[in-house]
Amino acid sequence: MGNVVVVGAQWGDEGKGKLVDWLSEQADTVVRFQGGHNAGHTLVIGENVYKLSLLPSGVVRPGKLGIIGNGVVLDPYALAAEIDRLAKQGVIINRDNLRVAENVALILSVHRELDGLRESGPVGTTIGTTKRGIGPAYEDKVGRRAIRLMDLAEPDALPARVERLLLHHNALRRGAGLPEFEAAAIIKELMDIAPRVLPFMDVVWRLMDEERRAGKRILFEGAQGALLDVDHGTYPYVTSSNTVAGQAATGSGIGPGQVGYVLGIAKAYTTRVGEGPFPTELHDEIGERIGINGHEFGTVTGRKRRCGWFDAVLVRQTVRTSGINGIALTKLDILDGFDEIKICTGYRLDGHEIDYLPASQAQQARVEAIYETFEGWEGVTGGARSWKDLPAQAIKYVRRIEELIGAPVALVSTSPERDDTILVQNPFEA
């Protein structure tokens, strides 16, 4: 099976961009299957730095087809803006290299405003979203009132669909003491952007089947991380979609048997953006040092990320919920020069040791990390491209991670540069 799914094995920001770019060079088709423009990838290709939020990473490479699947929620204005930004960098996006599922749900101004309203609530009631309307758009999709891309091609039927949407949203706005949305304004918002996005519309499930039957290599690109999955993550501090590998099939319209190899991406430490539990979080100078060395600020929002030691309990859990075949371990070089390094091997909850993160929000808040302590290394791992370039203690650290998470390390990334990678197993050839 020549298809690969890339998923974040932590809370996102694991460095998927570099690995997806590296794999996209071997792929024919790159598919985004969930999320929206709330998650970003930074690609460093030679002297060029590309920041992508919606577009599949393969679009910056000639001859690749990028697909935005039905599992994504699409802000059409954000898509147009991203296409324009890339054009200024010399990357032209057209129907030859981008298709968007006709049944993708759209993010509108009503969603962005509702998201912002909720996130401006009292302390303790917010989730820590990016305020880009992702959650409310998914709510409308599940509530069967979403406006979908195909609706823009049927302007005569659009007013009735907008009225159905506003029946829900205006009730919420009245309850919050806000003025109601006018249907005419929403329709204009959609019709103004329609000419920019409709040329990319396609029947993606059929296109995917054609690509598969033609023997094309397909790379499925996830956004965020498995610990933000709406079912398997740290609920309610999660995103509004499924981020585990199984969503690759549902979010693009292929059968689960066509998914292939699942590559999980994990940092050599742990970070998180926004609210929610974080058992290994460091509130001291070590956490600050990791954040500074790792440039831990969000690609999309610029928000500072919370930092902590590697949590093997959580990654082992995502290995199982996503069926991960191998791990790409990133940012090993950020740990260079530490006197000692810790790995979380288990939790203590109410005096008892456990080997998983409970689903209960109250219990998640009470777990305490149990650590193994490792001697740090004096050598430099940054830029290493083979095992012999790594200090012995760094190799020992990687091998212990493999043991604890129950999955082999398929790649080790030692800098943002794509060639600074130690390849153990090529997922496309596994």
4: left (phi over 0), alpha (psi -120 to 50) or beta: beta
Residue 137 confidence (pLDDT): 96
Give catalytic status of residue 41 as yes or no: yes
Q: How far is CA 295 from CA 8, 26, 115, 129, 260, in A?
A: 18, 29, 27, 21, 33
CA pair distance 213, 207, nearest whole angstrom:
10
Residue 127 confidence (pLDDT): 65
Residue 70 confidence (pLDDT): 98
Do residues 56 and 313 lie in contact, with contact meaning Cβ atoms separated by under 8 Å?
A: no
Which residue in 273, 290, 334, 380 sits closest to 8, CA to CA? 273
Pairing mode, strands 340-349 and 270-272: unpaired
Catalytic residue of the set 21, 37, 41, 420: 41
- Consecutive sets of 10 residues in the chain, 430 residues long: mean pLDDT of each? 90 87 91 87 78 88 94 97 95 96 97 86 63 92 97 97 96 92 96 98 97 94 93 94 96 92 97 94 96 83 88 98 97 95 98 97 97 94 93 96 97 86 90
Give pTM, 2 decimals: 0.92
Residue 125 confidence (pLDDT): 56
